[in-house]
A = this chain, B = another copy of it.
Amino acid sequence: MGKCEQCIIRQLNALKTLTKEELIRVSHCKTVKTIKKGEVLFNEGEYINGIFCIKSGICKVSKMSENGREQIVNLVKRGDLLGERSLISEEAANLKATAVNEMEICFIPKHEILRDLNENNSFSMSFLKEMAMSLKTNNNTVVEMAQKSVKQRLAHTLLNLAEEFGLDENGALSIHLSREDIANIIGTATETTIRLLSEFKKKDLISLKNKDIFIQNKEELRQISEGI
């Protein structure tokens, strides 16, 4: 079992502010898990009783709308924490987390995190900063959803995926999502997403080769996303 004190991942999130002793305690009570693609980490309404620290892989965080459609509200990757919100509120999870590809995660039980939050002030400040950041992104997403057309949102999403998850050696988006997942990020029907993707392709803004998406004209996509 790996030692948290020596783990590089913790440098990427609020856990970096834990002291050596705290990290050793975390090491002793954490559990490491491998999650297969498509597996559910937790569901809406479940009590998670801890937080997840993502070592590798990507996971989609979503919520079922009353209309019966899934809305993806976040994509979580290496270095991110997951489940912080529910832990702080001491409530059941409001969201569902599903692995997009194979993941390696550490699970840290609630009592340990709460203890550290109470004792270590730079840890709780660090936590606060992360939540403040999410809050900002979320506010911006609300505006995006409420005010922009589906086409604008798709353009924005493609640029975002490229920026957040990078490109592979061939220049394709390295994150691999189904059309349905993309549609569920944007908040539209799968067919509409497909139609718009092929429209973008026709205009040489992107190209599509066996399941890979290549961004060809970043600048014009940006303009579309901003409604210019």
Which of A26-34, A116-124, A192-200, A201-209 makes up part of the contact surface? A116-124
Which of A3-11, A16-24, A103-111, A142-150 makes up part of the contact surface? A142-150
Contact between B147 and A69 (Cβ–Cβ < 8 Å)?
yes
A218, CB-defined interface residue at 8 Å: no
Please give, as numbers and ranges, the residues of chain B lying within 8 Å of A148 by CB-CB distance.
Answer: 65-67
A76, CB-defined interface residue at 8 Å: no
Please give, as numbers and ranges, the residues of chain B lying within 8 Å of A117 by CB-CB distance.
Answer: 121, 125, 128
Please give, as numbers and ranges, the residues of chain B lying within 8 Å of A132 by CB-CB distance.
Answer: 84-85, 88-89, 131
Contacting B at CB under 8 A, from A127-143, are 127-129, 131-136, 138-143
Number of copies: 2
- Among residues of B, the one whose C-beta sits closest to the C-beta of A119 is B121
Please give, as numbers and ranges, the residues of chain B lying within 8 Å of A67 by CB-CB distance.
Answer: 147-148, 227
Encode contact with B along A69-90: 1 for CB under 8 Å, 0 otherwise. Answer: 1010100000000001100110
Complex-state Cα separation, A141 to B95, whole angstroms: 13
Please give, as numbers and ranges, the residues of chain B lying within 8 Å of A84 by CB-CB distance.
Answer: 132
Complex-state Cα separation, A136 to B139, whole angstroms: 11
Contact between A89 and B129 (Cβ–Cβ < 8 Å)?
yes
- Among residues of B, the one whose C-beta sits closest to the C-beta of A131 is B131
- The distance from the CB of A40 to the nearest CB of chain B, in whole angstroms, is 18
A94, CB-defined interface residue at 8 Å: yes
Contact between A138 and B133 (Cβ–Cβ < 8 Å)?
no
Complex-state Cα separation, A146 to B70, whole angstroms: 10
Most buried by B among A63, A73, A146, A226: A146
- Among residues of B, the one whose C-beta sits closest to the C-beta of A139 is B73
Contact between A73 and B125 (Cβ–Cβ < 8 Å)?
no
| 8 Å CB contact of A131 from B65, B91, B128, B145 | B128
Complex-state Cα separation, A142 to B74, whole angstroms: 11
Contact between B118 and A118 (Cβ–Cβ < 8 Å)?
no
Complex-state Cα separation, A52 to B226, whole angstroms: 32
